[in-house]
Amino acid sequence: MKKTPLRAVALVGATGTGKSALAMRICRESGQCIICCDSMQVYRHLDIGSAKPTAKEQRLVRHAMLDCCSLPDQFSAARWAAGARAVIHRENTAGRIPLIVGGSGFYLRALLQGLAEIPPEKPEVRRMLEQLRHQHGVRWLHRRLQQCDPETAARLHAMDSQRIMRALAVFESTGIPLSGWQRHPPTREPIECPVFVLEMPRAQLREHLRARFLAMLDAGWLDEVRWLDANCPDPQHPARRAVGYRQLLAHLHGSCTLEQAIEQGITATRRYAKRQVTWFAHQLPTAVHGTAEQLHASIGERLLAS
C-alpha cells in the first residue's frame, strides 16, 4: 500500500527580500505554522544578525526550528532536515500544512532530496588538512579537490574553506569522493512540497540590504557579535564565518575600522544575495517565482488545501 506523502509548502528567496513578513501575513490568515529554514537562526542568542523572528512575531504565529542549538556546538543540514520532517509529520497529523520559510537552500534540499549517510571523517585527516590549509591556503586545497573530486570542486567557490575541507576530509577518510556519496541519498518518506521563490528588483534589494544592515547595528548587533566572539572561539565555526558576523568580528579584532567593516559587510551581504538568487534559479527549476503580491494568494491556497 502506497504511503501518503508528507505535505508542506516552501517560501524561499534571497536574504532581505521580505520572506518573513510575507510568511507572517499568510500564516496569520491561515493559522498555519512557520518552519524556519535558516542556518543561523538555529543558534541561540544570535537574534539580530540572523534576522530571527521577534518574540512578538513568535507569539502571533507558531514557529519551529528556531534556537535549536547552543554555541559552540555546530548544527548541520542533516539535523535540520530531521527536525523539520518531524514538525511536518506533527502538523499533518493535526490536519495542518506548515510553511517552510528561509534562504538556506541546502537545508531545503536536504529535506526534500535527502543527504547521503557518509561515514564520519577521521580526526587525523582533519588535522592533516588543517595543517595543509595553514601552509598552502584555501585555493591550494581547492586545486587538490579538483584532482580527487572535480564534480564537487566545480560547484564550490575557491575560497569556501569550510566546504572544501569537508569534501577533502570525506575523500581522504573514505576513499570515495563526496559527489559519489551524494549520488545515493537514503530513501525517505516522500514530501509533497511546492516551492515559491520571492523576488525583489535588484536595485531595490541593494538599498534594502544596506538599510537593514545599519538597522541591525542600531539594534545592538555589535554586542551580539562580542557575545559570539566570547562564546564560540573556533575561527572555522560557521557562525563566525557568516556574512556580517565575519566582518564585524574582524573589526573587533582590530583588522579594520567599524566603518570599513560596515561597508565590507554590506558588500558581502549583497554578493551573498546574488549567489542565493542564482542557486534558487538553477537548483529549483520547477519553483514558482514572483513578488509578494503575486505569491500571497497562491501560497495561502496551498496551505489551506485539504
Residue 63 and residue 165 in one domain: no
Residue 79 and residue 62 in one domain: yes
Round to whole Å and give the CA distance between 210 and 215. Answer: 9
Please state the separation of Cα 222 from the chain's center in Å.
Answer: 22
Round to whole Å and give the CA distance between 189 and 181. Answer: 20
Residue 132 and residue 77 in one domain: no
pLDDT (mean) for 292-305: 91
Number of structural domains the chain divides into? 2
Residue 56 and residue 201 in one domain: yes
Grid cell of 163 as nine digits: 566546504
Q: Note down the domain range covering 164.
A: 123-182
Q: Which pLDDT value is given to residue 261?
A: 97
The residue out of 156, 182, 208 marking a domain boundary is 182
For residue 233, is the peptide bond before it cis, meaning its omega torsion is within 30 degrees of 0?
no
Q: What is the CATH number of the domain that holds 155?
A: 1.10.20.140
Per-residue model confidence as pLDDT tens digits over 178-222: 888 877 766 667 899 999 999 999 999 999 999 999 999 999 999
Which are the contacts of 133, defined by CB distance < 8 A and separation ≥ 6? Answer: 141, 161, 165
List the 34-37 sheet strands across, edge first.
63-64, 34-37, 99-102, 9-13, 195-198, 288-290
Residue 87 and residue 194 in one domain: yes
Percent pLDDT > 90 in the chain is: 74
Residue 204 and residue 177 in one domain: no
Q: Which pLDDT value is given to residue 107?
A: 93
Residue 154 and residue 70 in one domain: no
Domain presence at residue 1: no
Q: Which long-range contacts (CB under 8 A, 24 or more apart) does 137-143 make?
A: 138/164, 141/165, 141/168
Per-residue model confidence as pLDDT tens digits over 155-168: 888 888 888 998 99
Residue 198 and residue 265 in one domain: yes
Threshold 0.85, pTM exceeds: no
Q: Which pLDDT value is given to residue 187?
A: 60
Q: Which pLDDT value is given to residue 114?
A: 78
Residue 238 and residue 134 in one domain: no
Beta-ladder partners of 197: 12, 289
Residue 169 and residue 191 in one domain: no
